[in-house]
Structure 1
């Protein structure tokens, strides 16, 4: 059976990701990947709308992605849109425009499916073992939490409290004020009651973070220790003490100073403050001495499903 190629487009609230892959037995090879800070939620997420400027940025990026996909001769395209689009009053119009302009069918996924795909991506990375883990993925529009192990997810839920929303609600001063952090924590205390109850029920002993914020935090930690990430590795350890030191820096510095931290990237510099506050809040409930940062998340969860289909087809034909 010849290997097939596929393209995954993850249209997040803050970042659009493109991943071009070649699928093979039980795994995949990355042909090309790119992420662009489209910030589709900017200016409209608190009003449940996608602004004209955000649409323009999205269309420009999708046109660029389509050229790359066509250049590789890929016809299997799997595009997902998450929180900003599913909650926007003009989300369906936006999706239909994408179809007419680029011929791309965008699957607007609900929070439950988003959490499931993130779980499948984290599991695919090999970051899980038989212990009970709390997994989290901080997006711009929503945050997904999953409790489970390398065999199954016991509990999962998506909360519409992503970084762009928290930024709009609480981060009015730079550096963020202590009073803003107090208000943010009170908000989280109220909104995350179902999660806190689930943590008490399932007693996870490890915490796994996926996607942008955790990638950047682990990059900053590795830079601070003058260590290098090994390219083949898909999960990285961030000691709790290392995270706490970074959190203190991020919360106490203004934007221009945060940009000077080795490992920081401009697309994360605003949202990482409230995201760090969220992680700090969650760590009250988990006793582990380190965070596991998974390089795989939603888009790799989608790939894991394609790989399964391919391996099943191979088993049938062999």
Structure 2
């Protein structure tokens, strides 16, 4: 048996995450086992979506976080890592300077990926393995700056698109009806006559909703349950969600707009339930890292 440790860094609009995963090789069997997850709420989207660049304050927070992640990876004997930045960095005019800064002072290489690449990495999670090929699925990943939607039919990708609709953009009043209309029209054009699809939900907010619903592991969330959670959470102020519901401050404000996005997509697609496998872009990065690692040529001593 052989155990390898890989690391994924996901620099999102709301937080930066370091996922450490053990990959256990035992003959033909390969098992991916999450070791630890560190999450730092930098909120790059607060700057990127309002002033168009990352301020010095948040740039320094990003750098400190990358230095910490680098030290953790070295202490954990990580075989390989990949760092991907998404919507906030895509929207920042000084993204290239931040990438250079993190490379120089933290020795971390950051890839700023576009929406289609983000969807590809998410798909690498082994989503196809969990699909019933006799029915359609819609994979939805809701982030702070964007929402990635992938439609599956017969276990294959039928269509995939990234929309600049995210929880931080909504909180900042940057998203209006025309933006949601684009999502609605796209979904209806892709799934006009499909039998009732199921949604596969991804992202920290849907994972938190799943925990709040206290569902047994493996059970999906119904549309009614998602709606009830939306109304329940919306009935509290942000402060009360922190004090009474024990939500993290950087989760307490974004969870309501995230739930709103899921409800709209369920309505437009006709989906009546959401499967929550608790996977995201970090898991997809690990999978792609491992595949790349296995394809490297073996050097004979």
Range into which the TM-score falls when normalised by the shorter chain:
0.7 to 0.9
Uncovered stretches (5+) of structure 2, i.e. residues with no partner:
none
CA distance in structure 1 between the aligned counterparts of 2:234 and 2:247, rounded to whole angstroms: 14
In the TM superposition, what whole-angstrom CA distance separates every residue of 1:242-284 from its partner, at most 9, and x where no partner exists?
A: 1111111223332123335646333211111221221221121
CA distance in structure 2 between the aligned counterparts of 1:99 and 1:243, rounded to whole angstroms: 42
Task: Indicate how the Cα distance of structure 1 residues 29 and 54 shifts in structure 2: closer, same or farther if over 3 A, else same.
Answer: same
* Superposed counterparts of 1:54-203, under 5 Å: 54-121=58-125, 123=127, 127-130=130-133, 131-148=135-152, 151-169=155-173, 184-190=176-182, 192-200=184-192
TM-score for both structures, normalised by structure 1: 0.83
CA distance in structure 1 between the aligned counterparts of 2:287 and 2:219, rounded to whole angstroms: 20
* Superposed counterparts of 1:1-318, under 5 Å: 2-25=2-25, 26-121=30-125, 123=127, 127-130=130-133, 131-148=135-152, 151-169=155-173, 184-190=176-182, 192-200=184-192, 205-222=197-214, 230=217, 236-260=219-243, 262=245, 264-309=247-292
* Equivalent residues of 2:187, 2:268 under 8 A apart: no
CA distance in structure 2 between the aligned counterparts of 1:154 and 1:307, rounded to whole angstroms: 26
CA distance in structure 1 between the aligned counterparts of 2:171 and 2:73, rounded to whole angstroms: 33
Q: Which residue of 2 aligns with 1:180?
A: none
Shift of 1:127: 4.1
Q: What is the alpha-carbon root mean square deviation over aligned residues?
A: 2.7
Shift of 1:28: 2.0
* Equivalent residues of 2:205, 2:251 under 8 A apart: yes
Q: Which residue of 2 aligns with 1:173?
A: none
Shift of 1:136: 0.6
Shift of 1:55: 0.9
Give SS of 2:276's match: strand
Task: Indicate how the Cα distance of structure 1 residues 59 and 270 shifts in structure 2: closer, same or farther if over 3 A, else same.
Answer: same
CA distance in structure 1 between the aligned counterparts of 2:189 and 2:224, rounded to whole angstroms: 26
Uncovered stretches (5+) of structure 1, i.e. residues with no partner:
171-182
* Equivalent residues of 2:241, 2:247 under 8 A apart: yes
Shift of 1:304: 2.0
Give SS of 1:141's match: coil
Task: Point out the more displaced range, 274-283 or 189-198.
Answer: 189-198
| Paired residues, number | 293
Task: Indicate how the Cα distance of structure 1 residues 109 and 141 shifts in structure 2: closer, same or farther if over 3 A, else same.
Answer: same
By relative contact order (CA 8 Å, sep 6+), the higher-ranking structure is: 1
* Equivalent residues of 2:137, 2:200 under 8 A apart: yes
* Equivalent residues of 2:188, 2:269 under 8 A apart: no
CA distance in structure 1 between the aligned counterparts of 2:124 and 2:142, rounded to whole angstroms: 16
CA distance in structure 2 between the aligned counterparts of 1:248 and 1:132, rounded to whole angstroms: 28
Task: Indicate how the Cα distance of structure 1 residues 6 and 157 shifts in structure 2: closer, same or farther if over 3 A, else same.
Answer: same
